[in-house]
Amino acid sequence: MSESNLKMAGVALVGMLLAFSAEAVTLIKADEAKLPAGAGVLATRGITRGPAIKILTPDLTNLTSPFDLKVAFEARGGAKIDAAATKVIYLKAKPVDLLARVKPGLSEAGLDLPGAETPPGEHQIQIIVQDSEGRSSQVVMTLNVVK
């Protein structure tokens, strides 16, 4: 392969990667949003030595879809985040596993999903993170999407 062909192939590959990374992700499908809400209040623990979970963006009220979803994970006490043990669940009467949809933006550092799409409405999403020592933390974020 000539040098110019290699350069063209490299430019094409970079273009495809940029197009893929800029592609919106359907976080919640319209039919899932219509499912019955989960019953009761989710109980969470108090003080924990598990990983910290910080929602960086978006502002959770009056959202418009699509939006950038950024969540940071922070291990404590020298442990590392076990990204393979992370769970992302849409809380409905029958919970919906969102892990396959968010996996492209998931890492030990957190979750980074540019262009996350959801239908209008209130959506509760639970994120569970575990560290290398088996300690876990969870957060439930409520997205209020207006359009």
Walk along the chain (147 residues) and give the pLDDT tens digit of each residue.
Answer: 555 444 444 434 333 433 344 467 899 999 999 999 876 555 555 566 889 999 998 877 778 999 999 999 999 988 999 999 999 999 999 999 999 999 999 999 999 999 999 999 999 999 999 999 999 999 999 999 987
Question: Domains in the chain, please, with CATH?
Answer: 25-145 (2.60.40.10)
C-alpha 137, offset from chain centre: 15
Are 96 and 35 a contacting pair, CB within 8 Å? yes
Question: CB-based burial of residue 92 (10 Å sphere; 0-12 exposed, 13-18 middle, 19+ buried)?
Answer: middle
Give the integer Cα–Cα distance in Å for 12 and 84. Answer: 31
Exposure string over 25-54, b if 16+ CB within 10 A, otherwise e: bbbbeeebbeeeebeeeeeeeeeeebbebe
Are 120 and 146 a contacting pair, CB within 8 Å? yes
Pairing assessment for the beta strands 25-26 and 110-117 based on DSSP bridges: parallel
Residue 41's pLDDT is 52
Exposure of 39 in the CB half-sphere (CA atoms within 13 A): 0
| Token pair recorded at residue 94 | 């029958």
